[in-house]
Structure 1
Amino acid sequence: TRLILHAKAQDTILSLAAEAGSVEDLEIEDVMKIGFRDIRCVESGGPEPGVGCAGRGVITSINFLEENGAYDGVDYV
């Protein structure tokens, strides 16, 4: 994503949710950045290695994206 965004690594959904209090307190604009050729970029994040279940973080992120319309109007290849 750094090359697509021409920037440093973006904040993850889970880190932003931790700062905000919960995933429900986030907006899609907070986590999704538009990069080169209008590619939509999102970083899921997860717990520190050995601390928790990374799969749970991915599921939380995917559910957030689905509920907030991140996949609407997208052409999948």
Structure 2
Amino acid sequence: MLEKEKLQRINALAAKKKAGSIEKDELEELKGLREEYLKNFRSSFRKQVENTKVVDPEGNDVTPEKLKRIQEEKNTRD
């Protein structure tokens, strides 16, 4: 997870960019921080999806086969 300080820095730089007062080095910093944020977000979201089990109203496991295979490969499937 991205540290609170980094998220605050992303927001501060984004505000400067929107105001039109951002410098070139700050723009590069913003780009790098955003890439790091997206990398962490995607990783976290992937883990969450890979640990999901889909159950219909009758209680039947209807998890997609592709997801079941991934879960079995990672030994997270019951």
TM-score, length of structure 1 as denominator length? 0.28
Which structure is larger by alpha-carbon Rg, 1 or 2?
2
Structure with the largest fraction of helix: 2
Structure with the largest fraction of strand: 1
Identify which of structures 1 and 2 has the higher relative contact order when contacts are C-alpha pairs closer than 8 Å and 6+ apart.
1
